[in-house]
Structure 1
Amino acid sequence: MLLDGSRVLVAGATGVIGAAVASGLVERGARVAVAGRNPTRLAQHAADLGGVPASRIDAYDLDGCADLAHWAADRLGGLDAVVVTIGVAAFGPADTQPEPVTEHVFTVNALAPIAVLRGALAVRPTPGTLAAVTGVVAERPQRQMAAYSSAKAALSGWLTAVRAERRSQGTVVLDARLPHLDTGFADRAVAGTPPPLPRPVPLDETVDALLEALESDAVLLAPNGTGGVTADHRLPQPH
């Protein structure tokens, strides 16, 4: 997908990663619409990007999340891609995490992103690229992060299934399994204290890699073992 001139919805644009992705897209010539939870940051970010369309979303309003792609397509005159960066962390032993925390983690990290992307599938024509940030924990669940890891794994599994369903239609589905980044994300957890975490990967380099993955129609972005991330363009074989 050529980013220059493309029309892209970024959901989660009031977060550090989402804001950086939206800014990077605009710098590469894309027309963007942004959505996020914090109204103050959303308005400021939209203004900083030149007055792009902006919509506040609530992860618990799943119908509103599902309507987001239609709103963006209307504002942009069509929609070529949707990038979802919504997420929240929680830490602590699995047997001590309260049910409301687990529900919140699954709603924000799985149900809301799925609702946004499911809504995009109903837009005609369907956006050519659907992407979501899952995280390396989707494939390597971590201790003290049971709910967070499993919620991200659920989102990753949904992406894999949709990729198989839409392969014949040419829809690209990108699973961005990002490593620990220098965003302060862990310090904003809704519960618990982070366990020892690996050295963070630079945000700017990772966002650049994500944008390049979008432009090259990659299906997976994952840590490469050398302190960065690498895109994979091979489609998984259907089972």
Structure 2
Amino acid sequence: MPRRSLVGAHVAVLGASGVLGGHVATVLHERGATVIGVGRRPERLRAVSGVTGSSVVGDLTDATLGERLVEVVQERHGRLDGVVNAAGAVAFGPLVDTPDEVIEHLFLTNVVGPLWLLRRVLPLLVDSRGFVAQISGVVAERPTAGMVAYSASKAALAAADLALGQELRRLGVDVVDLRVPHTETGLAGRAVAGRAPRLPQGLEPGVVARQVVDAVESRVTTVTAADFLAGTS
């Protein structure tokens, strides 16, 4: 299968106002793509405005976010060639101590919201024979005690990626599941509940971002945590 060129591609980055998403946007820009930044924090989106062709402010828990992204694409870009989902939420602590609303928020942000958005943008990606790349994370393959709801939500996202890849293969749309290990993005310090345990030194976000974009260009279906670690050794 030939490599995917990103030169001239129009790519939406979900979570572009976050650390990893911002790095992914930068790498995409460096490789010739026009980036549409999607995120919750307008001030952070402005900070990466030099590498984004336009932006959409919103939260994945809002089912209308995908519709607004489609409107921006149609009005300003004319096409959408890819979506990279670098957004997410995390919580820590035993399940018995995790409030219902936290479990709901994790699934809305990590699984339901991305699926809502993809439902709305998939016709554009089919037209362009584009791609979807989603960061499910290491817990998708190694669920972790003290992170039950988070692990379950990311495993669900990974399952969705594998099933969606089967659905879209004949339509020419690539789906990449990215099981990124712990990365120094500061997400653990912004948990929606609980306190992070002592974690080992994480990977450098800029290095991970390059690996994410490499995976899109090479058109693989899954990048495991071991693959990411091997790529940094």
Give the superposed CA RMSD. Answer: 1.9
> Comparing 164-173 with 69-78, which one deviates more in the overlay?
69-78
- Mark the CA change 1:133 to 1:96 in structure 2 (over 3 Å): closer, same or farther: same
Residue 16 of structure 1 is matched in structure 2 by: 19
Report whether the alignment pairs 1:154 with 2:167. Answer: no
* Unaligned 5+ runs, structure 1: 231-239
Could you report, residue by residue, the CA deviation over 1:45-83 in whole angstroms, capped at 9, with x for unpaired residues? 22x32x621110122211223542453244222111111
Greater relative contact order (CA < 8 Å, ≥ 6 in sequence): 2
Residue 33 of structure 1 is matched in structure 2 by: 36
Within a 5 Å distance, the mapping from 1:39-118 to structure 2 comes to 39-46=42-49, 48-49=50-51, 52-118=53-119
Query: What letter is aligned with 2:82?
Result: A
Question: Structure 1 vs Structure 2: percent identity of aligned residues?
Answer: 38
Q: CA deviation at 1:7?
A: 1.2
Runs (4+) of structure 1 moved beyond 4 Å?
none
Residue 2 of structure 1 is matched in structure 2 by: 5
Report whether the alignment pairs 1:192 with 2:200. Answer: no
Could you report, residue by residue, the CA deviation over 1:149-180 in whole angstroms, capped at 9, with x for unpaired residues? 11111111111111111111121100011000
Q: How many residues align?
A: 228
What CA distance in whole angstroms lies between the structure 2 residues aligned with 1:223 and 1:202? 14
- Mark the CA change 1:90 to 1:226 in structure 2 (over 3 Å): closer, same or farther: closer
Q: CA deviation at 1:4?
A: 1.6
Within a 5 Å distance, the mapping from 1:109-128 to structure 2 comes to 109-123=110-124, 125=127, 127-128=129-130
2:137 to 135, 138, 161: 135
Query: What letter is aligned with 1:87?
Result: G
| Structure 2 contact 63–116 (Cα < 8 Å) conserved | yes
What CA distance in whole angstroms lies between the structure 2 residues aligned with 1:226 and 1:81? 21
The structure with the largest helix share of the pair is: 2
| Structure 1 contact 206–228 (Cα < 8 Å) conserved | no
With normalisation by structure 1, the TM-score equals 0.89
